[in-house]
Amino acid sequence: MNRQRGFTLIELITTMAIAAIVLTIGVPSFQAMMRNNRAATYTNEFMSALSLARSEAIKRGWRVTMCPGTQSGCNGNAWGNGWIVFVDADADGNGVLDTAATDSNGTLDGGEVVLRVYEAFGGNTTLLGSAPVSQYISFSPDGATRLAGGNVSLPCTPTLPCALTLSLCYNNNQQNQIIINSVGRARVNNQTSAQTGTACTN
């Protein structure tokens, strides 16, 4: 009769040691890859929203604005909690931009059309903007970024860009900085927290 043999204790310990080494090396790398992929996904979603707002402003010939908030209106400066894109013009429905209190004011007013609602980011993800774009981003019919309530361009300069920083709050996380210039074009800087010097907390 053939004798059945299993693993010896030494073979079992050796196998477990190799598995532990592989997991120790592989799991952190996999987690970092997942975080970076999540950052890229959220960044692409916001860039897509910027493109939508700008193209709709050009197509419609009206001011189109993005702001942190929900279907019911703008709310604060936490872009990561969700945002909306809406036609920021002609709240009184008269076809003329004549009401300073509601037309092109960076706020969703009654009668203005919401084009799209974006859901909040998941996990420990934040999206905050510098002062010019902390509470809204508004595009005029020529595609340029404008301040609310007028035709003044955003004060974006090379030393003071209109920037939003997408931050996944983990050690050595990827921080994607979205920079918008005065003519309405956006680009992304891919950086780590070590490069930006920004501390994130879980």
What is the SS3 string spanning the chain? CCCCCCCCHHHHHHHHHHHHHHHHHHHHHHHHHHHHHHHHHHHHHHHHHHHHHHHHHHHHCCCEEEEEEECCEECCCCHHHCEEEEECCCCCCCCCCCCCCCCCCCCCCCCCCEEEEECCCCCCEEEEECHHHCCCEEECCCCCEECCCCCCECCCCCCCCEEEEEEECCCCCEEEEEEECCCCCEEEEEEEHHHHCCCCCC
Say if residue 176's pLDDT is above 50: yes
User: Residue 112 is part of which domain span?
Assistant: 11-196
Q: Indicate the range of 53-57, 81-85, 143-147, 178-182 predicted with least confidence.
A: 178-182
Say if residue 151's pLDDT is above 60: yes
Q: Taking residues 29-36, what's their average pLDDT?
A: 68
Structure-token pair, residue 113: 């059309």
Structure-token pair, residue 66: 């993005």
Provide the whole-model pTM.
0.76
* Number of domains composing the chain: 1
Q: Give the phi and the psi of residue 66 in degrees, each rounded to 5.
A: -115, 145
Say if residue 12's pLDDT is above 70: yes
Measured distance CA(156)–CA(145) in Å, rounded:
10
pLDDT tier at 21 (50, 70, 90 boundaries)?
confident
Q: Regarding predicted confidence, which is higher, 48 or 191?
A: 48
pLDDT tier at 94 (50, 70, 90 boundaries)?
low
164 and 133 in contact (C-beta within 8 Å)? yes
User: Is position 201 within any domain?
Assistant: no
Q: What is the pLDDT of residue 86?
A: 94
AA identity, residue 27: V
User: Is position 43 within any domain?
Assistant: yes
Q: Taking residues 139-148, what's their average pLDDT?
A: 88
Measured distance CA(156)–CA(166) in Å, rounded:
19
Measured distance CA(31)–CA(111) in Å, rounded:
45
Q: What is the pLDDT of residue 197?
A: 47
User: Is position 3 within any domain?
Assistant: no
User: Is position 202 within any domain?
Assistant: no
User: Is position 118 within any domain?
Assistant: yes
User: Is position 173 within any domain?
Assistant: yes
User: Is position 2 within any domain?
Assistant: no
141 and 103 in contact (C-beta within 8 Å)? no
CA distance readout (Å), 49 to 14, 95, 124, 152, 191? 53, 25, 21, 22, 21
User: Is position 176 within any domain?
Assistant: yes
Q: What is the pLDDT of residue 168?
A: 60
- Domain of 156, CATH number, reads 3.55.40.10
Q: What is the pLDDT of residue 103?
A: 76
Q: What is the pLDDT of residue 201?
A: 44
Q: Indicate the range of 66-75, 77-86, 172-181 predicted with least confidence.
A: 172-181
Identify the residue whose tokens are 């975080």: 35
